[in-house]
Structure 1
């Protein structure tokens, strides 16, 4: 008889499922009223944003009414001054997972709102805000709205954890997957050495995908964020581009020449033409200088640049001080490169291996964002 009870149980379960489906078809979300009053912040309130992670502004409004006596949920919406919230700049769920009629909104989020509204870093501008009351699938926008005046941060509240350059002006072209990486050189500071084509567009982005944030500069001084912005350069050249998101600043330095600086001569003895994607290289003969104590083989690199119309000479030397030539067991870090704070003839130099003396040697300097700045010396 066990089979009989199993059949009865299955029939009962099926009936229950059918009954539930019929009830579900009759279900409808309860009506919810629009929020009548927005309490805080006051209309026209001016707020100066702070970079502290704990800085926030409290928003509060009157509770909505729900026909079945239940509770509504809420979202705060922001739009440009004069907007109608049909395409809001930003939406924030209220506190307590949307169940509170208040929201503590961080200055970091308000800075993003202001950026989307076109307010430049360090400047003030107006946005408007209102509240949606929500019950299930029903969403009702309040007829009330208030103005909030925001003075944005000088820099970015949300600094990207990676940065790339892409576009028709760049060496990687328009394929964002082939974009070239910047190097993180400090807290919120990035740089890249790369060639740009004049009159063509390019952008900075935090992802190798179409979903990345877009950064650009209209004056090659201040960095902005926006989905439709782009950069262009007036002169085709190799540049060192530095971006500091802490102060929303960008600088361009044109790299005119790079060469091997031979300390005994106090001069560049081999020019290194740019090969692309942060690499300069050439093959040449370096003759060591005979001294009374032996042959002098000390060297570093020198770079001729133009920044803001002013010529400047930079030197690049050892990252880890050394007074010995390399050998087969030398660590890769022996060749690591850094831009030196001062010019000198003898400081922060390397020594060529003996095999370089008088023989054709390929020398390359590699300044790429996804690896340590370094150089190679390969005698033929």
Structure 2
């Protein structure tokens, strides 16, 4: 009897396993094509924006799967006249491809334009459609539409850091000594540095070999192997905006200490290297009926004769007291052209007038542009 039960049990297990194998065999489910594309409308024209939130909405009629499951969708792009047999770009729909719409960022569309052969800032027409799939089965939509885009003038990938290197720079050809740029705003870089006339320099994203290379061509930033020169040796302010690939190069002829009570610059701060202007002189506070006036700021003059005032970034109407040179009190920024606004006050120890608090005192001032927050330092030189 025990043998009979064992035989029946074994037969049942084999039968169950066989049945499960047949039921669980994987079968690809057929899927219908998308019949209609809703958005964007055929022939829509879009000027791409660099904002991270800028996007274009794509929507289409849902496909149907034989097993009632959810199809996977991809928006497929091709060059104008293409048949999508070799698409230039694919983007999954929202929620990992499960929804019948896609929110595609302008930065992604900029990459699509690049894949289509459009240059930076160039306008061109693409075609797009939707591919629906279920398992290994996929089918293209029954229609396609045209989309005209104007690519971003700037770069898809903005470097996190930027440096100047080359024979014209302060660091020379040694990549490890490349001159670092500050980044005062998102996507923007700036540097105050000395360049040798007739020699070359380029921009790199790191101070090491194998870095990504950029170069300046006129007032534009270009990516790739290239070099730039300046006509004459001098101190230059280079401002770069990678969001629009633009650059401004201006020669700085001088930086000066501007004494507000006199309404004039009283001594120069020569450029000493590494983004620093430094000078020293005797400062004589001005005697007024209410006390001694010690207000100051800085005046930069460009080679073309234009000027730029630099004053406090953090509005203040007091002297620094015991504030250290790293204190935000000393941060500087560009300010309007006027005598009194956005100024600092010197401590009494820097009053070197004969009738001042520290007769004969010589004050040394450094304006520092090689840090994220531009700043300055005031100290006694004697």
Task: Using structure 2 for the length normalisation, give the TM-score.
Answer: 0.65
Counterpart-to-counterpart distance in 1, 2:316 and 2:39: 61
CA offset at residue 291 of structure 1? 4.8
CA offset at residue 104 of structure 1? 4.8
Question: Contact 1:57–1:107 (CA<8 Å) still a contact in 2?
Answer: no
Q: How many residues align?
A: 341
Q: 1:177 to 1:86 in 2, by over 3 A?
A: farther
SS in 2 for 1:77: strand
SS in 1 for 2:74: strand
Counterpart-to-counterpart distance in 2, 1:362 and 1:202: 33
1:351 aligns with 2:345: yes
- Matched with 2:374 is 373
Question: Contact 2:29–2:135 (CA<8 Å) still a contact in 1?
Answer: no
Counterpart-to-counterpart distance in 2, 1:37 and 1:100: 15
CA offset at residue 165 of structure 1? 1.5
Question: Contact 2:165–2:179 (CA<8 Å) still a contact in 1?
Answer: no
Q: Deviations over 1:105-132 (max 9, x none)?
A: 45564355335643544x5312233444
Q: Deviations over 1:35-90 (max 9, x none)?
A: 58664568961323476958633343684766x67553121133445778798654
Q: 1:166 to 1:367 in 2, by over 3 A?
A: closer
CA offset at residue 32 of structure 1? 5.6
Structure 1 unmatched ranges of 5 or more: 1-14
Match of 1:363 among 349, 362, 365: 365
Task: Using structure 1 for the length normalisation, give the TM-score.
Answer: 0.65
Question: Contact 2:162–2:203 (CA<8 Å) still a contact in 1?
Answer: yes
Counterpart-to-counterpart distance in 2, 1:83 and 1:168: 43
CA offset at residue 242 of structure 1? 4.8
**What are the within-5 Å matches in structure 2 for residues 1-380 of structure 1?**
30=28, 35=33, 39-40=37-38, 45-49=43-47, 53=53, 56-60=56-60, 63=63, 71-81=70-80, 90-95=89-94, 97-105=96-104, 109-114=108-113, 117=116, 118-121=118-121, 124-136=123-135, 146-152=145-151, 163-166=160-163, 168-169=165-166, 180-184=181-185, 190-195=188-193, 199-202=200-203, 218-221=217-220, 228-229=223-224, 232-235=227-230, 237-243=235-241, 245=243, 249-263=246-260, 264=262, 266-276=264-274, 278-282=275-279, 284-288=280-284, 291=287, 297-306=294-303, 310-322=304-316, 324-328=318-322, 332-344=327-339, 346-356=340-350, 357=352, 358-368=360-370, 370=372, 372-380=373-381
Q: Larger Rg: 1 or 2?
A: 2
Q: 1:266 to 1:87 in 2, by over 3 A?
A: farther
Question: Contact 1:183–1:368 (CA<8 Å) still a contact in 2?
Answer: no
Counterpart-to-counterpart distance in 2, 1:360 and 1:91: 67
After superposition, the CA RMSD in angstroms is 5.1
Q: 1:56 to 1:216 in 2, by over 3 A?
A: farther
Structure 2 unmatched ranges of 5 or more: 1-12, 353-359
Counterpart-to-counterpart distance in 2, 1:85 and 1:92: 14
Counterpart-to-counterpart distance in 2, 1:352 and 1:54: 47
Question: Contact 2:202–2:216 (CA<8 Å) still a contact in 1?
Answer: no
